[in-house]
Amino acid sequence: MSSACERLYSYLPPTREPVAKVDGVDMFRHPVVKAWHEYFLKEWRSDKDVALLLPCTSVKPYSRSATHRLAYALLKKYGLEGRVQVYSVSEPMLLVPRELEECYPFNSYDYPPARMTEAEKEEFSELLVPFLRKVSSQHRSLVAVLPRHHYKVVEKASRLAHVSVELHSYGRLAFKTISGVIAHLTSSPQSEGSGH
């Protein structure tokens, strides 16, 4: 078990209680999810220059998905792992740091975006506001490469939070868009921009 998981588990013991979308139930209010939100806002720290927001995936942990495997390989190839903090934009978890994606509950939850109601999408954006404010205070810039659903949620949350996020949307061109954005990060000076 990673030390990041151990720290999380001291705050949020892994009950292995399933966290799965149930119609008519607000998963953002699930006790495990709420405990994660509190932990992130109180305890999470990162001192990397750039926050890179990617979408959550149906494959858990995210590192097994094709998009995340590509992103992680490119960050390693370009020597950016020490400079770029990856977060997955997730319903209902909001933001999940790469270091925690193999920990419970992130390695086993299920919340298909297609099953979200309009009210849940609004709630997602509103709950994401303090998360974006927190990461903007820890990173010089925020960059997001997201499909349309997550793009709209992050775009709205960034406006509500008054946080600058460099947003990139993709459809069928996920690999090309992710590759281009990460390649561009190699040419960005460490002092460039601010997410504040």
Residue 59, classed as helix, strand or coil, is coil
Domain boundaries, the chain: 3-187
Share of the chain above pLDDT 90, in %: 77
pTM of the model as a whole: 0.92
Q: What is the pLDDT at residue 194?
A: 39
Cα dihedral: 100, 102, 105, 108 (round 10): 150
What pLDDT, in 10s, does the model give residues 31-49? 999 999 999 999 999 999 9
Q: In the β-sheet with 141-147, what is the strand arrangement from edge to edge? A: 94-97, 84-90, 50-55, 141-147, 166-170
Instruction: Fold for 3-187, please state it.
Output: Rossmann fold (3.40.50)
